[in-house]
Amino acid sequence: MISVTNISKTFRVPVPVEGRWAAARALFSRARTDKEAVRDISFTIERGEFVGYIGPNGAGKSTTIKMLTGILHPTRGEVRVAGLSPHKHRTDVARRIGAVFGQRSQLWWDLPVRDSYDILAAMYKVPDRDKRERLARLTELLELDEFLLTPVRKLSLGQRMRADLAAALLHAPDVLFLDEPTIGLDVVAKKRIRTFLQALNRDFGVTVLLTTHDMDDIEQLCRRVMVINRGELAYDGSIEALRERIGLPTTVKVTFGGSFSVPDRWEEPFRLAERGDDYVTLECNRSLISTMEVLRAAGAWGDIADVHMEEPDFEDIIHRIY
């Protein structure tokens, strides 16, 4: 469905000018440097797959997605979506794909949600009957009826995301690209979106490529994960194998009730990440040691007053591993 062969994307960016009169000199500076946002990436995605695409900020996730959707042209290499090149046959590819960018809406800001669907249906030449059928189904699955007549600008973030998902699916695309679809949403809204995406992939066989910062998105939705770091593909495989590789990193913040002392060394496999006036932050891998064991060890350092488990900072982990 999607095949990517050795693509690279180089941006030409101005060289920052330093020193005296920097701002004025920058105005006339023609110096440019090449910044390689994506370097020699290849992969194939088969029909019906649900693939997570993850990596730290600035790693090249969005650049890759933009090349797949025809927004950017790769500097080198080749992209095929449904057998076509998105930059040579942009409009043909556009008809076969749907794209949702979490940060911005593709709906008409000032118009009621339903009007956007009418415009999009005409744009994608969706026959009237198909439009009505699909819209009815999407309305039911995404519970759109509560705000179909509301102008988009008045929707909550969660509602807008549901409305945007429906908009991307109205023309029944074969592939759906999702760039941070759950960003900024609360737990309930996230769950709703995930349930929907699952059904979409399972029941309708839509191929999905998803970028996210939310590890739960990946764990619950994707069977396959690709990790990109500094523009290069660092990992491509199953979620289980990735978990084996990075383990179950956990951060525990332990606050002490009184004075405490941290010994120079200890036997248990966890490390001290930060030490404050009355607390320490500890990092461990739960595939090697249980949190209870870590706490037991820390209990010997002083009187524990409070314990706080933190979500692992995903970007941090990726950075450390690759």
Partner 1 sequence: MLRMYRMLVIASFRSRMQHPFNFVFGTLMAAVVNVVEFSLIAVVLSRFGSVQGWSTYEVAYLYGAILLSKTLYRTVASDVHHLEKYLVSGDLDQMLTRPVPVLLALMAQNVTIYVAEFLQSAVMLAISLSVLIGSGQTSWLAVPQTLFVVLCGAIICFAIGLATATAGFWITRIRELQVITEDSARFAAQYPLSLYPKWLRYVLCTAIPVGFANYIPSLYVVRGELGGWILAATALFTAGCLALSMRFWRFGLSRYQSAGS
- Pick the binder of partner 1 from 108, 196, 270, 314 (CB under 8 A): 108
Edge-to-edge order in the sheet of strand 304-310? 270-275, 279-285, 249-256, 304-310
Question: In this structure, which long-range contacts are made by residues 231-235, counting pairs with CB atoms below 8 Å and at least 24 apart in sequence?
Answer: 231/36, 231/37, 231/38, 231/39, 231/41, 231/59, 231/60, 232/39, 232/40, 232/41, 232/60, 233/41, 233/42, 233/43, 234/55, 234/318, 234/321, 234/322, 235/322
Rule CB under 8 A: say whether 90 interacts with partner 1.
yes
Rule CB under 8 A: say whether 70 interacts with partner 1.
yes
d(CA 85, CA 69): 10
Could you give the angle at the alpha carbon of 68 between the alpha carbons of 104 and 314, nearest 5°?
65
Stretch that binds partner 1, among 107-115, 200-208, 263-271, 289-297 (CB under 8 A): 107-115
Q: Is 135 in contact with 170 (CB distance < 8 Å)?
A: yes
Work out how close the CB of 90 gets to partner 1 at its nearest, in angstroms, rounded to a whole number.
Answer: 7
Query: Which residue's CB is nearer to partner 1, number 115 or number 216?
Result: 115
31: DSSP letter:
-
Work out how close the CB of 239 gets to partner 1 at its nearest, in angstroms, rounded to a whole number.
Answer: 25
Query: Which residue's CB is nearer to partner 1, number 87 or number 194?
Result: 87
- Pick the binder of partner 1 from 15, 22, 24, 123 (CB under 8 A): 123
Residue closest to 181 by CA, chosen among 286, 92, 96, 65: 65
# residues contacting partner 1 (CB under 8 A): 32
- Pick the binder of partner 1 from 4, 38, 53, 66 (CB under 8 A): 66
Work out how close the CB of 63 gets to partner 1 at its nearest, in angstroms, rounded to a whole number.
Answer: 8
- What are the Cα distances from residue 87, in Å, to 36, 71, 79, 236? 19, 8, 8, 25
Residue 84, classed as helix, strand or coil, is strand
User: Which backbone phi and psi does 286 adopt, to 5 degrees?
Assistant: -70, -10
Query: Which residue's CB is nearer to partner 1, number 101 or number 147?
Result: 101
Instruction: Mark 137-176 with x for binding to partner 1 (rule: CB under 8 A) and - for no binding.
Output: --------------x-------------------------
Work out how close the CB of 66 gets to partner 1 at its nearest, in angstroms, rounded to a whole number.
Answer: 6
Query: Which residue's CB is nearer to partner 1, number 95 or number 194?
Result: 95
Q: Pairing state of beta strands 76-81 and 279-285?
A: unpaired
Rule CB under 8 A: say whether 24 interacts with partner 1.
no
Rule CB under 8 A: say whether 106 interacts with partner 1.
yes
Rule CB under 8 A: say whether 134 interacts with partner 1.
no
- The contact set with partner 1 (CB under 8 A) reads 11-12, 62, 66, 69-73, 87, 90-92, 94-95, 97, 99, 101, 103-104, 106, 108-111, 115, 119, 122-124, 151, 179
